[in-house]
Every structure is written in structure tokens, then in C-alpha cells.
Amino acid sequence: MLVLLPTTILAQEATVANKETVVELGPKRYMGRRIAQTMHYLGAEWLTRDSREKEEACSKLLAALEVKPRQTVCDLGCGNGYYTLRLAKLVGPQGSVWAVDIQPEMLKLLTDRAATRNVTNLKPTLGTATSPNLPAEAIDLVLLVDVYHEFSHPEDMLEDVRACLNPTGRVALVEYREEDPDVPIKPLHKMSQRQVMKEYEANGFKLVGQFDELPWQHVFFFARDDSPLEEVELNPWRQP
């Protein structure tokens, strides 16, 4: 039987219904997958929980991204900025981080945290259900950590994400592994490799990298299908 950590339940079930609706829901299913509801800002503490590094090996993920100084990156679905502030340090003062979320409350939590740390190279941006509102061909890396499965309009979002990438830009997609019953996350908040590949290839992306060393999550690297980056074959995940 799958056991969920109390904080996990809080984050996944922090209800949208008992507050204002966060986002106008689009199709309830996409390419055979049921779309999850957006995590409410009232559950934001879960994103910065003390156990996160131990559970998810976040420092390993950051290293795998290979972010470089002066780059322009985006934390899409940034929440209160757990990864945003770390990305800001990696790109340095001459780089920039677009921090995008559809909840202004999340962006306020982020900017408050950034102010206490004197982080000034952020571009907090209010996105919509259909667009991250990013400039065309300007982004080196778009990071999506456990958020894509909540997009109510996946096709629209992927169209705009593709448009924001420069020719060698990449998308780093991080999702809890559906194939692994030991990952203590509700099935609705997981994605399989097969489903990810089906959706991204159908929307103009190709796989250019993969990282399989996190305890709970898949990591895919995608580029535009017209990118000069070399396409790679997917390495199927297998239970250790």
C-alpha cells in the first residue's frame, strides 16, 4: 500500500476549491493522461521543507543541469523559489532567471525570500494557463520541476515554451516516476517515460539528454526538434 508523507498530502491536496480558483481548468485529460490540479500557494511550505534534499537529491539535479554563468534561464512553475534562488547563484550577477508562476501569491513569497538574500538577478513573471509570458528565442534553459503534469493547457504551454528557447536551448523536465510504486506521491502527480515522450514529441521537441540518478524523479532534457543539439535514444527506466 502506498503511504504518503503528511507534508506530501498537504501539498497535493491544499485545496483550490476553498479559495478563489487559481486557474481556469482546461481539458481534464490530455493524450490519455488525467491532468492534476495546480498546487495551491497555501501548500508552499512543502516546497522548502527541510527533508527535500534528502528525499530528492536536489543538489544532484542542479549539477546535472550544467547551468553556466551569464546564462538566461527560467524556473517555470517556480513556486516560492526553492530552485529559483539556487539558479540565480549559478548564473551569477550577469545572468538572469525568469521566475514564472500563475499564482501572484507564490511570486510574492519568492520575492520576499530573494530580498532577504540580496538576490537581484530575478525576473518574477506572472504566467497564465496558456503561456509563461517569456521572450522569444531568449532562454538557455527552462526548468520544470514536478509542475508540467499540472498544466491545464499543455499544448498551448509547450508551444510557448518551444518559442522561448534559443536554437540550443533546453527544457529540463523533472517528474515523479509513475513506474516506481515506492515513490510516496499520489499517482495523479506522477508521469511515466512513455507518456512524457508521447506528449513532448507531439509538440515539437526531441530528447537530447537524460539523468536517472535521483531517488524519486525522472529527468529529461528536451530541445526544439530543429535544434542542432543531437537527439538521443531514451534509456528505459528499470526498477533497481
Domain 30-44+54-224 top-level CATH class? alpha beta
Q: Give which of 123, 178, 149, 156 is closest to 39, Cα–Cα.
A: 149
Give the length of the chain: 240
Beta bridge partners of 218: 175
Helix (H) or strand (E) holding 42: none
User: What is the three-class DSSP state of 166?
Assistant: strand
Query: Which grid cell sits at 215?
Result: 531517488
Q: Is the pLDDT of residue 17 over 90?
A: no
Q: Which residue has the cell 510574492?
A: 108
Model pLDDT for residues 53-71, shown as the tens digit of each residue: 999 999 999 999 999 999 9
Model pLDDT for residues 98-154, shown as the tens digit of each residue: 999 999 999 999 999 999 999 999 999 999 999 999 999 999 999 999 999 999 999
Distance of CA 210 to the CA centre of its chain: 15
Question: By the 8 A CB rule, do 123 and 98 touch?
Answer: yes
Q: Is the pLDDT of residue 175 over 90?
A: yes
CA atoms of 22 and 184, how far apart (whole Å): 25
Percentage of the chain lying above the pLDDT 70 cut: 89
